[in-house]
Amino acid sequence: MTRSRFFFNGGIFRQNMRQHGWIGIMYTLGLLFAVPLQMLLSGSDERPPLEIDSLFDIAGNVQMLFILTLPVAAALFQFRYLQSKQPSDLWHSLPLRRERLLAGHMLSGGLLLLVPVWLTSVLAALLHSLDSNAFLYQAADVWIWCLSVSVITVFFYLFGVFVGICTGQTVLQGIVIYILLLLPAVLLLLINLHLNMYLYGYSDNFSRMGMIENWSPVYKLMDITVEPFSMTEIGIYAALSVVFGALSFVLYRKRQAEKTGYALAFTYFNPLFKAGVMLCAMLISGTYFASVQARQPGWVITGYVLGALIGYIAAEMIIRKSWHILTRRVPLEFALYAGLLGLAIWFPISDWNGYENRVPQSAKIEGVYIGDNYQMFGSDMAGEDRQFADEQALSQDKNYIEAVRKLHQAIVTARPGDGDNDRAQYYGTGSHYFNLAYKLESGRELLRTYWLPDAGFEAELKAVMEHEEFKRKQYRVFALNDEVESFRIGNGEKFIRISEPGEVAEFMDILRREILAMSYEDQTGGQIPRATIQTVPKPGVQSQIYYNFTYEWVESYHELDRWLEQKGYADKVRTLPQEVKSVEIFQDNYPGKLSSEQLYNLDVHLQLARSEKRTSITTDKTVIADILDHRRNYQGTNGAYVVIMEYTNGRSEYVSVEEKDATPAIKALLPLK
Amino acid sequence: MMIEIRGVSKSFQGEKAIDGVSLTVKRGAIYGLLGSNGAGKTTLLKTLAGIYRPEEGTVTIGGQPVFEQPEVKRGVIFMPDIPYFFPQASLRTMAEFYRSVYPGWSDKRFKELEAVFKLDTRRKLSRFSKGMQRQASVWLALSCMPEVLIMDEPIDGLDPVMRRQIKNLLFQEVADRGLTVIISSHNLREIEDLCDHIGIMHHGRMLVERELDELKADTHKVQVALRDDRHATALAAKLQILHRETRGSVNLYIVKGDRARIEQTFRVYDPYVLDLLPLTLEEIFIYEMGDAGYDAQPILL
């Protein structure tokens, strides 16, 4: 028997074409619609062709839809014969070895799926030089697209076949294919959530690397227009295809024909299946209960047990194809599984390696970062900013390292917010969210994330936040460089542009100085910016991905004040007293009297003050000007003035003025307490 | 091709479907496999056809194991109890498929059989009636020119004329080419005129195996009125009596052995009445199995 005859049986091929040809036809039509047809249709004479980086940019979502479904459909329909008794008997009674059966089916399926891809590629290549083509792309883009789609198609198909050989029901096969394709990403996400919830200071490493979607081809395809496949990914999927293809051959030889209709074709997959379903159910249910009833260990444990029970019952029912699963063995087996999985879930959060309390010794630290945005620095995520990438996240300054270390030490000692999942209360006023990163001598990186209230950490925070290194990173001072062409300054209603090179340089200089000179109180006092300052990059820089960096003009920037006044820009960008219709003001003495939920709800404060007739309304421009100068976000301090401002454009907002900032004009408005 | 099954067992989810079954079918024989539903007939046949792998024991055809051996399976056709064809297929397309898979396929035979079956080869098989589908599968099977034909409950749904025609075709194939046939059925009457050997399965085991001609010639029903009851005891010592019952003064014996010898033995006692009657196959099995301690009625009918 010759080699070609071994692998290729004309009868199998023709039968496949006859029976499953429609899949190929649909794939062809779908891809032709999504790619070449769009090239011809979406163009118009007036519009120049759209320049694209990848053919996935052409109706990527439509492409995705077909790529995601049809290869799997082919695996389901073609290998239906494994899951159904009658066709199984027929195919397996034929004088063909299983390798040959499988190879015949796989080759037919591969051709059914790849010919449409190649046909589409050929058309895209032919249309490349056509004038009326709506898109402009390189010939190489066609090759890359062809390669990417071919590989991912084959991967989906072969993975589907592999799952088909391992399962015994077509419906289950379909469900399991997609679940397994999503599982790595979902599991990572769940584990992340889990660690985040129970491991104090856990820093979410995976989403930092933008890795979650890369762990699932389904996720990846859904985002295909944002980021096409890299060559590495194509290589990985090609390798995985080979692995699953080879496994299919090995397992098919062992598969028993009588397994049609069973959930799993190999009994030794049953424990794995059960444990997998239970683990996912436990994580989902436990995390859910923990997020709803955070402070009640009883509820949380109930959540995990319930998840385990649901997972076990579901898996058992699927395996036995019956809901009558209760036997004498079941409770014992469930206890064993639940116990082992519980241990597996508990172990990583048991702090077995001192994760929570570890603060490296200063001698071993090479660099340090603290701030709210570590992930923006230095990773090569798509869509991120080059300026961030260029800036070194870590600082080598010894004093700074020591200051950060001390803060870290204080945090792990006091453990603010430990066991409290409602971290929202640590956002905003009077609290901080910090990423902490150390680069250690050993080359390793130590990452932590904390939400902490400022209260109790003032000294440590001050040492860190007043350091130049902190401000440089946190307030993006590094982006005030010669790539800035001009500044756009405004308060949302009106704006000006500073673009004269001399002025730009002068302004930038002052702004940099002002930011670096901010005290701890300036940074945490909730100052409301008078205007925001946006950078506009030079034209050459613009073609790259570039954020328009935003800075603020706040009360504490006295030098900037003077410069803007002097240039006559100040009034053109800040809110003027005549733009305010009226203000209603009262002195707030509610902190301590209200519950913590109501403390920051100023509507409640206002109603109380009104009911006590302690508010006063004015349209006096001096008062308004004073308020505009000193306004801050409400800080929850006793004795501060709370103001509701009505603007002439109909907008209104709450601001507050600290007692120390209150001018005599403001004080005069209100009756003495 | 001689079929040899030796000590084959197969279980599903821990339950033995067949348990240590042995069986030999000589080339050119038509072997009938009898048993009630769930006796393990289909499992045994599928194991023989190389669809299932035997858990224990061996299955050989012509001395070669069957499972995953295309060289052996080329000469074997398995016909399932419910005919199955590819969706949308017609006889023509099925024939084309079998031609590409079975090297022994004969277009000539296919053409010849067209005259027998008179089915439309272009019509979709799914539109055929059950009987027509069964004819179609026999047609396709015989066109593959198999050496061994395995038929699972093949008689179901055929009209008497077609049934006789297929029977004749099988006889012809056996006579001309030495085809070996193994047929299963839950009803003895359906296949007794077809088979030359019969095996009865029950609960996954082979209960009895017999060659029919020998069996028919060998077992006799005797109605006798003896002159003296003591003669009965004497007879029991001389003959192989399977069964005996008394209806008034008349005794009914089922006796194994040579007809002439049996008659002679009875004559010695000069009974009032002596009748030797032919037995139906069904009766033979009922008595044989009763002798072996089984109630044959529910197993066979």
The pLDDT tens digits for B201-239 are: 888 888 888 888 777 777 888 999 988 888 888 888 888
Together in a domain, B58 and B192: yes
Per-residue pLDDT for A383 more than 50? no
For residue A169, the distance in angstroms to the closest alpha carbon of chain B comes to: 17
For chain A, the structural domain boundaries read 3-262, 274-349, 362-474, 477-573, 577-669
Which chain B residues contact residue A14 at CB under 8 A?
96-97, 100
Ranking A383-392, A469-478, B167-176, B267-276 by mean pLDDT, the lowest is A383-392
For residue B202, give the H/E element and its range.
Answer: strand B197-202
Span between the terminal Cα atoms of chain A, in Å: 105
Per-residue pLDDT for B94 more than 90? yes
Per-residue pLDDT for A649 more than 70? yes
The mean pLDDT value for A489-510 works out to 89
Question: Is there a contact between B87 and A19 if contact means CB atoms under 8 Å apart?
Answer: yes
Per-residue pLDDT for A667 more than 90? no
Q: A70 CB contacts (<8 Å, ≥6 apart)?
A: A23, A26, A27, A30, A113
Q: What percent of chain A has pLDDT over 90?
A: 33
Identify whether B208 is part of a domain: no
Number of domains in chain B: 2
d(CA A175, CA A163): 10
Q: Which of A93, A100, A327 to mutate to test the interface with B (most CBs of B within 10 A)?
A: A93
d(CA A88, CA A424): 57
Identify whether B209 is part of a domain: no
Q: Which residue of A has its CA nearest to B48?
A: A93
**A378 to A209, A370, A387, B192: CA distances (angstroms):** 10, 14, 9, 86
Q: What is the pLDDT of residues A364-382, one digit of tens each?
A: 888 898 988 777 775 544 4
Contact, A657 vs A643, CB < 8 A? yes
- Please tell me which of the candidates B46, B70, B99 has its beta carbon nearest to residue A96: B70
Supply the pLDDT for residue B57: 94
Identify whether B275 is part of a domain: yes
d(CA A429, CA A656): 13
Per-residue pLDDT for A43 more than 80? no
Together in a domain, B8 and B51: yes
B59 touches chain A (CB under 8 A): no
Together in a domain, B193 and B227: no
Ranking B14-23, B30-39, B40-49, B280-289 by mean pLDDT, the lowest is B280-289
The range of the structural domain enclosing residue B53 comes to 3-203
B55 touches chain A (CB under 8 A): no
Together in a domain, B178 and B36: yes
The mean pLDDT value for A384-403 works out to 77
Residue A198 dihedral angles phi and psi, to the nearest 5°: -115, -15
Q: Which of B77, B82, B86 to mutate to test the interface with A (most CBs of A within 10 A)?
A: B86
Per-residue pLDDT for A209 more than 70? no
Which chain A residues contact residue B50 at CB under 8 A?
92-93
Q: What DSSP character marks residue A424?
A: G
Among B163, B178, B203, which residue terminates a domain?
A: B203
B87 touches chain A (CB under 8 A): yes
Q: What is the pLDDT of residues A123-165, one digit of tens each?
A: 999 988 887 788 888 889 999 999 999 999 999 999 999 999 9
Ranking A185-194, B12-21, B85-94, B280-289 by mean pLDDT, the lowest is B280-289
Identify whether B110 is part of a domain: yes
The mean pLDDT value for A310-336 works out to 89
Supply the pLDDT for residue A3: 42
pTM: 0.82
For residue A245, the distance in angstroms to the closest alpha carbon of chain B comes to: 20
Amino acid in position B136: A
What is the ipTM, given to two decimal places?
A: 0.88
Per-residue pLDDT for B18 more than 70? yes
Supply the pLDDT for residue A191: 86
Q: What is the pLDDT of residues A353-365, one digit of tens each?
A: 888 888 888 888 8
What count of CB pairs under 8 Å joins A to B?
70
d(CA A210, CA A659): 46
Together in a domain, B195 and B250: no
Ranking A128-132, B123-127, B159-163, B169-173 by mean pLDDT, the lowest is A128-132
Q: What percent of chain A has pLDDT over 70?
A: 91
DSSP assignments along A125-190, one per residue: HHHTT-TT-SEE--HHHHHHHHHHHHHHHHHHHHHHHHHHHHBS-HHHHHHHHHHHHHHHHHHHHH
What pLDDT band is residue A4 in, cutting at 50, 70 and 90? very low
Higher-pLDDT residue of A162, A521? A162
Among B181, B203, B225, which residue terminates a domain?
A: B203
How is residue A211 written in tokens?
Answer: 């890795």
Ranking A28-37, A185-194, A275-284 by mean pLDDT, the lowest is A185-194
Supply the pLDDT for residue A332: 92
Q: Which residue of B has its CA nearest to A92?
A: B51
The b/e string for A541-577 (b: 16+ C-beta within 10 A; e otherwise) is eeeeebbebebbbbbbbeebbebbeeeebbebbbbeb
Question: Is there a contact between A94 and B73 if contact means CB atoms under 8 Å apart?
Answer: yes
d(CA A149, CA A155): 10
Supply the pLDDT for residue A381: 47
How is residue A174 written in tokens?
Answer: 């379909």
Which chain B residues contact residue A17 at CB under 8 A?
none
Classify residue A593 as exposed, middle or buried by CB count within 10 Å of its CB (0-12, 13-18, 19+).
exposed
B88 touches chain A (CB under 8 A): yes
The mean pLDDT value for A163-181 works out to 94
Identify whether B261 is part of a domain: yes
The mean pLDDT value for A448-463 works out to 87
Which chain A residues contact residue B100 at CB under 8 A?
9-12, 14
